[in-house]
Chain A
Amino acid sequence: MRVYVDQMECTGSSMCEMHVPEVFSLDDQGLATVLGADGDMLPDGGVAAGGIEVRADLQVAVRDAASGCPGGCIIVVDD
Chain B
Amino acid sequence: MTAETALPGSASATDDYFYEIGPIESFDIDRPRTVEIEGRTLVIVRTPSGFFALGNRCPHQGGPICHGRITGTMLPSAANEYIYGEDGQVVRCPWHGYEFSIRTGESIGGAVRGRIPVFEIEVRDNAVFASLRRKQHQSKKTR
Q: Take A30-B114, A30-B115, A70-B114 as given contacts and tell me if A12 and B139 are in contact as well, using a CB distance cutoff of 8 Å.
A: no
Q: How far is the CA of A10 from the CA of B55 in the complex (A)?
A: 9
Please, how many angstroms separate the alpha-carbon atoms of A54 and B99 in the complex? 35
Chain B interface size range: 20 to 34
- How many A-B residue pairs have C-beta atoms within 8 angstroms? Tell me: 58
B142 contacts which chain A residues (CB < 8 A)? 12, 30
Chain B 110-143 interface mask (CB, 8 Å, partner A; 1/0):
0011111100000000000000101011011110
Chain A contacts of B62 at CB under 8 A? 69-72
Specify the chain A residue showing the minimal Cβ separation from B63. A70
Chain B residues contacting A12 (CB-CB under 8 Å) are: 59, 113-115, 141-142
A71 to B114, alpha carbons, bound, how many Å?
10
Which residue in chain B gives the minimum CB-CB distance to A32? B114
CB neighbours of B137 from chain A (8 A): 29-30
Q: List A residues 1-32 near B (Cβ within 8 Å).
A: 7-14, 26, 28-30
List the B side residues contacting A72 at CB < 8 Å. 57, 62
Residues of B within 8 A of A28 (CB): 140
Q: Does B69 contact A (CB under 8 A)?
A: no
| A-facing residues in B48-68 (Cβ within 8 Å) | 55, 57-62
Q: How far is the CA of A12 from the CA of B140 in the complex (A)?
A: 11
Q: Which of chain A's residues have a CB closer than 8 A to the CB of B61? A: 70
